[in-house]
Amino acid sequence: TQLLEQSPQFLSIQEGENLTVYCNSSSVFSSLQWYRQEPGEGPVLLVTVVTGGEVKKLKRLTFQFGDARKDSSLHITAAQPGDTGLYLCAGSASFNTDKLIFGTGTRLQVFP
Amino acid sequence: DVKVTQSSRYLVKRTGEKVFLECVQDMDHENMFWYRQDPGLGLRLIYFSYDVKMKEKGDIPEGYSVSREKKERFSLILESASTNQTSMYLCASSHGGAGNTIYFGEGSWLTVV
């Protein structure tokens, strides 16, 4: 069974700080996605990475897919209270399926 | 605007009851999914469907069944609800192929007492 482990599980920081969330697996994924989920809502896709070593930027968020396509990281620069939420990574097991394996999640709280 | 709609946001059911969770998408997506979300466990796939009348078991199908009679509708059925099925249930849909955007509904909070 493929597993995705996220760390840290919880993160509480002050506005303006930087942070990194990690998503690790012993398995190779064809693609990896990051979602953010706010209380009472479903997850919303932030980014998809498909190439080993790929780096994508979304404003203050930087996503990286590991060279071996087994791990990923999400870096937030100058965090803001609006970044608060549950961050989930999800890996696709093969190129022919949308069946995703989700990580356990990182709950981020950014205080003003 | 794309939309996945789950008919019930909050339900309270008794042990042994039959429970239906309904999900409708308006994007003509081929794929539909049911997940449950529990603290510390992330999202776990219960069942998914790639086409009408087609279904495949996910990682935790025990105690659940599904129905997809129409492309836009995917129902999750708990034949005999148990307290360990108390959870948040998320429906999702997508076009076929890896890496495509998966759209989630807002979730259904089910409490079994």
HEC secondary structure over chain B: CCCEEECCCEEEECCCCCEEEEEEECCCCCEEEEEEEECCCEEEEEEEECCCCCCEECCCCCCCEEEEEECCEEEEEECCCCHHHCEEEEEEEECCCCCCCCEECCCEEEEEC
A98 contact B CB<8A: yes
Q: Residue B62 class from Cβ within 10 Å (0-12 exposed, 13-18 middle, 19+ buried)?
A: exposed
Q: What is the pLDDT of residue A101?
A: 87
Measured between beta carbons, which residues in chain B are less than 8 angstroms from residue A101?
45
Collapsing DSSP to helix, strand or coil, A112 comes out as coil
Collapsing DSSP to helix, strand or coil, A80 comes out as coil
State percent of chain B over pLDDT 70: 96
Q: What is the pLDDT of residue B97?
A: 65
DSSP character for A93?
Answer: S
Q: What is the pLDDT of residue A97?
A: 60
Best of A21, A48, A98, A104 to mutate (most B CBs within 10 Å, chain B): A98
Q: Is the pLDDT of residue B89 over 90?
A: yes
Measured between beta carbons, which residues in chain A are less than 8 angstroms from residue B45?
99-101
Structure tokens at A1: 């069974």
* CA A87 – CA A79 distance, rounded (Å): 14
Q: Phi and psi of A101, rounded to 5°?
A: -110, 120
Q: What is the pLDDT of residue A78?
A: 97
Given an 8 Å threshold on Cβ–Cβ distance, is A41 in contact with B97?
Answer: no
Q: What is the mean pLDDT of each successive set of 10 residues along chain A, which is 112 residues long?
A: 85 97 92 91 92 94 95 97 95 72 93 96
pLDDT grade for B100, boundaries at 50, 70 and 90: confident
- Cα Rg for chain B, rounded, in angstroms? 13
Shortest CA distance from B91: residue in chain A: A42
Collapsing DSSP to helix, strand or coil, A81 comes out as helix
Measured between beta carbons, which residues in chain B are less than 8 angstroms from residue A48?
99, 101
Q: What is the pLDDT of residue B87?
A: 96
Q: Which residues contact B7 (CB under 8 A, 6 or more apart)?
A: B21, B22, B23, B24, B108
- Amino acid symbol at B104: F
Within 13 Å and on the Cβ side, how many CA atoms surround A9? 6
For the beta carbon of residue B112, count every other beta carbon within 10 angstroms.
Answer: 19
Q: What is the pLDDT of residue A99?
A: 77
Q: Phi and psi of B79, rounded to 5°?
A: -65, -40
B30-54 pLDDT, tens digit per residue, is 999 999 999 888 899 999 999 998 9
- Amino acid symbol at B22: E
Do residues A110 and A80 make contact, with C-beta atoms less than 8 angstroms apart? yes
Average pLDDT over residues B75-98: 92
Q: Is the pLDDT of residue B1 over 80?
A: no
